[in-house]
Chain A
């Protein structure tokens, strides 16, 4: 059964760093496009980042230079390293598999940036 599960969220002060994890089962992350999508409280969905099967990475302008997506093939896990966090980064962060669309999504992990 295909599953993804996020972890690593929490309360962090502005300017701080946090690393989110997305553990996959039932498929291989290195053979798929893996995305991070976030949803601010009461708001809609916003695409954040992707890592392609070939290893290329792309980011939304709002996080470029601050966030880094990576993967550990041995752990079948994707990461999102978030630095220089801002209040406006507060959101539930979802991991989703897919290229044209997200066919499997995790339950999300909440990141709260506040002093």
Chain B
């Protein structure tokens, strides 16, 4: 059971917009801690996609965007492309736990 809750899977057709939710609680996202997102392509290491809720590292297309509100955060992907098919993880900090990073369970994005 992950501290942050994500849907196991989402799907969309090429060119469409999809969103992935990440629901936390008052000890993590709700407490104001930042949310970060990673993309993990099949058989590869996680790659930082969004940091500090809304910021994109250099090289990440602006088709990817993040937001945070209350105890939740979301990752939006517009203009869906076949190469976006991957697992996506949200990550934050939780003040009630003795860990540095807490992760969501991951969401598998399928491009139809």
Contact = CB atoms under 8 A, between A and B. Distances in A.
Partners in one complex: yes
B98 interface: yes
B100 A46 contact: no
Contact of A105 (B46, B52, B100): B46
Given A100-B93, A101-B36, A101-B51, A44 B103 contact: yes
Given A35-B101, A44-B2, A47-B103, A102 B46 contact: yes
B106 interface: yes
Interface residues of A, number: 23
Given A100-B34, A103-B51, A47 B46 contact: no
A60 B102 CA distance: 10
B46 A45 contact: yes
A1 interface: no
Contacts of B100: 33, 35, 47, 50, 58, 99
Given A44-B2, A44-B89, A58-B98, A101 B103 contact: no
A37 B106 CA distance: 15
B48 interface: yes
B5 to A, nearest CB: 12
Interface in B23-66: 34, 36, 38, 44-48, 51-52, 57
Contacts of B34: 100-101
Nearest to A4: B45
Interface string A25-45: 000000001010100000011
B88 to A, nearest CB: 11
B3 to A, nearest CB: 11
B112 interface: no
Interface of B: 2, 34, 36, 38, 44-48, 51-52, 57, 89, 91, 93, 98-106
